[in-house]
Structure 1
Amino acid sequence: MLALDQFDLDRIAEALQDQSACELRHLVDPRTGVISIWTEDGGLDGERPIDLDELDLIPIDPLPSYVWYQDMADFAGRVGDEQASDQLSIALRGKGAFRRFKDRLHRDWPGLLPRWQAFHDVRAHRRAVAWLSGKALVSQEAADRFIAENPDPDLRQGR
């Protein structure tokens, strides 16, 4: 097992969100924590194809999109401004919810962008740590400590 600070949580979080991972895969080296990108045509170095099964690396499979959708729904429900909450919740209805939510935030509620980013980042990092723990790359104790020390930020106005 490695220490938590040996992993790039941002990159792991990005990989867990990457719904386009058909042609490329994010992989982590369990000995070093280094993240690599593999493609079917170019392997790891972009030049020599190699089968994933031949690598001693662990693929980071993306989490289902509904996990990330729930973050948007939770944010919309917890933000302190009732009008913003209502509009963001409406944006989440139906197909294209991810794009509408982000468009609505940028266009109508740019002041909420830092809160959304902080909320999103905390949740994404906790999921990355949980993933690392689930793969036995970090200790459960380290993961539990990180998760406890990184709660959802307070989204109410003026906080």
Structure 2
Amino acid sequence: MLNLDSIDVEEIAAALADQTDYDHRWLVDPRTGEVVFWTSDTGIDGENPVELDELDLIVIDPLPSYVWYQDMVDFAEGISDKAAGRRLSASLQGKGAFRRFRNEVYDHRPELISVWQAVRDARARVRAVQWLVDEGLVEEQAAQRFISDNPEPALP
């Protein structure tokens, strides 16, 4: 098992959120917890192509977009400014919801930017730690300690 304090949880969170369609993957070394970036053209060192199955690393598959979408729904429904909540909820309807939600927060509700980022990032870190537990890389007890030490911020 790895020591959770030695793992870049933010980097794992970013990998789990990476929804791009490019030919790349994020991987973690189960011996060290180091996160590396792989592409089919340049491998993990940026120069030498290598097949994924030749590496003794664990692939970090991104979580489905509905997971991240739910964060936006929860935020819109949880804020006390009901008018802002309705506008944010409306932005989530149909295709392009991520872009519209971001535009609504950043262009029309700048007072919500820092709290939205804090909530989004806190949830992403928890997912990263849970992913590490699910992969057998860190102990459940360490994960629970991390989660209790890093609570999600209260909504305004």
- Please indicate the TM-score interval, normalised by the length of the shorter structure: over 0.9
CA offsets per residue over residues 34-61 of structure 1, 9 Å max, x none? 1101111111112111111111111100
Query: 1:38 maps to which residue?
Result: 38
Distance 1:22 1:134 in 2: 26
Separation (CA, whole Å) in 1 of partners of 2:152 and 2:34: 27
Q: Name the amino acid aligned to 1:131.
A: W
Deviating 4+ runs (over 4 angstroms): none
1:150 aligns with 2:150: yes
Q: Output the aligned Cα RMSD.
A: 1.0
**How do residues 49-88 of structure 1 correspond to structure 2 at under 5 angstroms?**
49-88=49-88
User: Which TM-score applies when normalising by structure 2?
Assistant: 0.96
* CA–CA distance in structure 2, aligned partners of residues 73 and 152 of structure 1: 15
Identity of matched residues, %: 56
| Deviation of the 1:31 alpha carbon | 1.0
Q: Deviations over 1:100-147 (max 9, x none)?
A: 000000111000001001100110000000000001110011112222
Is it true that 1:101 corresponds to 2:101 in the alignment? Answer: yes
| Mapping of residues 104-143 of structure 1, within 5 Å | 104-143=104-143
| Structure 1 gap segments, 5+ residues each | none
Runs of at least 5 residues in structure 2 that lack an aligned partner in the other structure: none
Tell me the SS of whatever aligns to 1:113. helix
- Deviation of 1:80 (Å): 1.4
Q: Distance in 1 between matches of 2:124 and 2:50?
A: 30
Segment of structure 1 superposing worse, 44-53 or 69-78: 44-53
- How many Å separate the matches in 2 of 1:21 and 1:142? 33
TM-score (norm 1): 0.94
CA distance in 2, matches of 1:53, 1:100: 38
- 2:48 & 2:151 partners in 1: Cα distance? 43
Please state how far the C-alpha of 1:151 moved relative to its aligned partner.
3.0
Q: Whole-Å Cα distance in 1 between the matches of residues 94 and 10 of structure 2?
A: 29
CA–CA separation in structure 1 for the residues paired with 2:22 and 2:112: 33
